[in-house]
Structure 1
Amino acid sequence: MVDASAQAVGKREAGYRAADMVADGMVVGLGTGSTVFFAMERLAARIREGLVITGIPTSFQTAIRARGCGIPLATLNDYPVIDLAIDGADQVDPGFALIKGRGAAQTQEKCVAFAAKSLVIVADPSKLTRKLDAVVPIEVLSSAYVPVIRYLKTIGGVPVLREGIKKDGPVITDNGNMVIDCGFGTIGDPTALDIHLSSIPGVVTCGLFTTFADKTTVVVGDSNGCQVLSRNGQFPL
């Protein structure tokens, strides 16, 4: 059982540490999720102290929060190469393969991660795992969700169309698409599965992030502070 209060402290510690990695004049990708909101809270304080940055949001929700924090915003079309992206993850393995997309923003998050020179993943210890085994969110065109679900079953997946909360019907992403949450059990080869899922006609993006490990740093926060992990360093599990 995860202690919710300790988890919140860990998220805040990780978010604040990531925000302190941002230097003046940087263009910064802003991920979607509760841990990144702590990073934006810290960035807002630094902006009040004189920090000058530009943020690239990965969702409508992030854009709304960032504006509330006083963070100036732009798009990837304005800045196709950005200095740093701060984002969260649903799971992180020792090779820094990730599962993302619980907030249904994985498509823009992947675009921002691709554009970033450096990717900082903020997490609490509950997100670390020896093997990825969480469901993989898959963004799919609404006109193709039935054949995609059918195909996922043939390759051993357990797909479920994500339903809205306080909304009748499926979740609709910021891009106007649907989300399929697909279980695969323990994922032996995340890279191969990432490539396979991304090649299915009708799939926009899957929530496996396996191509950014070389530029990724993971910041893990708990009640004792933060650990900054490197890919070739010790994994605290």
Structure 2
Amino acid sequence: MKVLKILVCIVSISISSLTTAATNQEQVLNKMFNKHNEQQISVERSVSSLLKSYPELQESIITLAFKKYPDKYKQVIRGSLSAAPSHAHKVIEISMEQEVAHCDEIIKVAINFEPAYADDIVLMASELHPNDRNQVYITALNAKPVMAPSVVNSVIHRYPDDFDELLNIAFEQLPDSVTSLTNNAYTNFPDNGENILNLSLKNSTDKNLKEIVESATKAGLSNSTIIDAAINAGVEKEAVEEIFPS
């Protein structure tokens, strides 16, 4: 019994010490933020500077910045990404845990500032908000369309059972990119050729029908398969046969 009391005492002291250390750390960081503010250094630069100097305190710095400057959350996100872009997933995780803004807004800010890490951003957001995955995906596609092929690949690889749904969403959200997204899909998901064909034809127009048919042919799909899929999608058989590469 005496040993148990000693252990309880030791644990209590340890917890108290950790709490005190965390409080002291926050006070020091707070003073640093205040000093930067007095020097008229922007929140974005302040966050970036502290993270570069104390990368081991990433979570503490970002969390405090959000609490201290809630109306400047965009600057906090940009400053965090500027200091460590490869940690984009962690920045998104902290941002969403702190609920600094709506999920869509956080994604837009992050992807527009650091598009090279759009995949990490959208996957982390989807993991944290599984019920809003499709909306997260849509927001990411529209935030930086040039990164759409990469985002599509990453999301489909993470959720392969939803291949048709995810590719169709991409086609619907970016109608001007159907051809390039189709080519990307054939390259990265060759085993889903017929699914890609059906979805691309469903989202085709008179302007890109020829390109879609040619892409399907290059992907190794037979003429008969393409014609049948086109007819099912409402395209005239003659129109498809006329544009087959000779």
Q: TM range, normalised to the smaller chain?
A: under 0.3
Query: Of Structure 1 and Structure 2, which has the larger fraction of its residues in helix?
Result: 2
Which has more radius of gyration? 2
Provide the TM-score with structure 1 as the length reference. Answer: 0.22
Higher relative contact order (CA 8 A, sep 6+): 1
